[in-house]
Amino acid sequence: MVDIISYAKVIEHERLLERLGDLRSVATTACREAPDLPASPVLVFTAATLLGDVYRLLSREPGARSLVRLDRRDRPSHRALVALLRDARLALDAFAWNHRDHDDDYGDEWLTFEGIEAFRDARRKVIPAY
């Protein structure tokens, strides 16, 4: 199912992907060093905040409830934290897939209200009777 979203959600998606990539790198390094030790409070706090932001973006998406929200007081292992961040990445990828212009109907990667309106405005200028 492909749904139309606002461009603000596209921007938020890209911002979250960038933050997630940076945090996954840190968590993966910590996991290599000590996979079964508890993650530091700062790492957990940062991950919990990011996962909360991801959940807010995805809350109305199919399967969003399966995304685990981490409590800032928890102390998961590095291995568990990396798995949570991997799941967040999968959920963000699913979000992008669900809101893509797969058929290239509107000339953009995403199906956004703003993109469709701009496409229609451009068509009106080229084809006045449209």
**pLDDT at position 18, please?**
98
Q: Which domain holds residue 23?
A: 7-99
The answer to whether residue 63 is domain-embedded is yes
Residue 34 placed within a domain: yes
- Residue 74 within any structural domain of the chain: yes
Number of domains the chain is built from: 1
Determine, yes or no, domain membership for 122. no
**Token pair in block for residue 64:** 């969003």
Nearest to 20 by CA among 51, 42, 66, 45: 51
Domain-embedded: residue 1: no
Residue range 68-118, pLDDT digits in tens: 899 999 999 999 999 999 999 999 999 999 888 777 776 668 888 787 776
CB 85 within 8 A of CB 23: yes
The Cα–Cα gap between 86 and 88 comes to 5
57 belongs to a structural domain? yes
28-55 per-position pLDDT tens digit: 999 999 999 999 999 999 999 999 999 9
Taking the whole predicted model, whether its pTM rises above 0.75 is answered as: yes
Whole-number pLDDT of residue 74: 92
